[in-house]
């Protein structure tokens, strides 16, 4: 079992005299920058020229510089940009401004694990990754809590990289909930696999296949939507709160029995074997290369896949049904209405 570190295990003094540059002010960027600031850490935000996020960051009381300026004045640089943008920003703005003893931080190991960013000798390279979205990292911090965090060290030039990573996690609230030490390789590969095989890819394909099976058998699309998508939140919430066993305890005996006898008919050894192929593509770097090349080439296939998903019947039916349930979105903006930050 992994060791879990809490506030008593972190020494804030390891980051107290450092200047941190948070590059990016999106979901994670705004949370890290504000939490660090309110923890008494000297922090600046780095953004590209003309960024729409500059005004928001300044209104929050943060100092905003260009990415290059921020990297130059700081000795801890946290890269909180999209995975496909990090390498270019690193080469153009960060690498020329690194000095021996500086620390390069990430919240996801993708670019380091697959070699898109290779820091020179003399630079600490570490990970401080909250296991939750930025808005939750920020909200729980303001409420006196925190989101569990991962830390890892890829390059320990100073001999103090781990202590610095733990202090950083402490300053954004992670030690209030618990911090687990991992490696860049483990964090990256498990994160990508979870997204592709279960949380996103596996789940969406399963939901769509279930919906199609019912509608092709003549059942009303509205019924198929309720049974294959809408009620999913109930099950996920139960699993989130009590685990799989707790979920099974809470549902009807009919549902529990159906779960136990039919689940293995769907997730067969062949499906698990294909999951292994997905994992192999991740660990070999094949997926990373495919993804980066797709984005670099303009993303035509990416856009086509997005378009096909958005035009699936489950989306049109779901939109109509959600319109009958205003409590779902009460007081919230649609995710498609929220513009992403830098």
312 part of the active site: no
Q: What is the CA radius of gyration of the chain?
A: 22
Phi, psi dihedrals of residue 145, rounded to the nearest 5°: -110, -155
- Give bridge partners of residue 21 from the DSSP assignment: 44, 77
Alpha carbon of residue 187 to chain centroid: 11
Q: How far is CA 47 from CA 129, 157, 222, in A?
A: 20, 27, 45
**Given the residues 108, 135, 230, 312, the one annotated as active site:** 108
Provide the annotated active-site residues.
108
């Amino acid at each position: 079992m992994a060791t879990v570190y809490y506030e008593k295990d972190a020494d804030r003094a390891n980051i107290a005299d450092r200047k941190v540059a948070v590059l990016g002010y999106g979901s994670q960027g705004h949370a890290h920058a504000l939490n660090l600031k309110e923890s008494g850490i000297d922090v600046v935000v780095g953004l590209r020229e003309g960024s729409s996020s500059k005004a928001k960051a300044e209104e929050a009381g943060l100092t905003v510089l260009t990415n290059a300026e921020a990297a130059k004045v700081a000795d801890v640089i946290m890269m909180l940009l999209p995975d496909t943008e990090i390498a270019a920003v690193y080469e153009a703005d960060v690498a020329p401004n690194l000095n021996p003893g500086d620390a390069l931080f990430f919240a996801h190991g993708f670019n380091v694990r697959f070699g898109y960013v290779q820091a020179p000798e003399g630079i600490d390279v570490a990970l401080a990754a909250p296991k939750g979205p930025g808005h939750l990292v920020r909200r729980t911090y303001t409420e006196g809590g925190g989101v569990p965090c991962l830390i890892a060290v890829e390059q320990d030039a100073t001999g103090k990289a781990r202590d610095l990573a733990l202090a950083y996690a402490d300053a954004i609230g992670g030690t209030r909930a618990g911090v687990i030490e991992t490696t860049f390789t483990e964090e990256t590969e498990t994160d990508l696999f979870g997204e592709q095989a279960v949380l996103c890819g596996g789940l969406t394909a399963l939901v769509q296949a279930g919906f199609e099976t019912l509608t092709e058998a003549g059942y009303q699309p509205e019924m198929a939507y309720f049974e294959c998508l809408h009620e999913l939140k109930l099950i996920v919430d139960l699993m989130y709160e009590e685990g799989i066993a707790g979920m099974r305890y809470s549902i009807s005996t009919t549902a529990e029995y159906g779960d136990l006898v039919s689940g293995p008919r769907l997730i067969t050894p062949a499906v698990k074997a294909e999951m292994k192929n997905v994992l192999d593509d991740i660990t070999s770097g094949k997926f990373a290369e495919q993804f980066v090349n797709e984005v670099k080439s303009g993303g035509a296939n990416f856009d086509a896949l997005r378009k096909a998903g958005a035009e699936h019947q489950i989306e049109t039916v779901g939109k109509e049904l959600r319109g009958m349930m205003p409590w779902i979105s009460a007081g919230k903006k649609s995710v498609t209405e929220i513009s992403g930050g830098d």
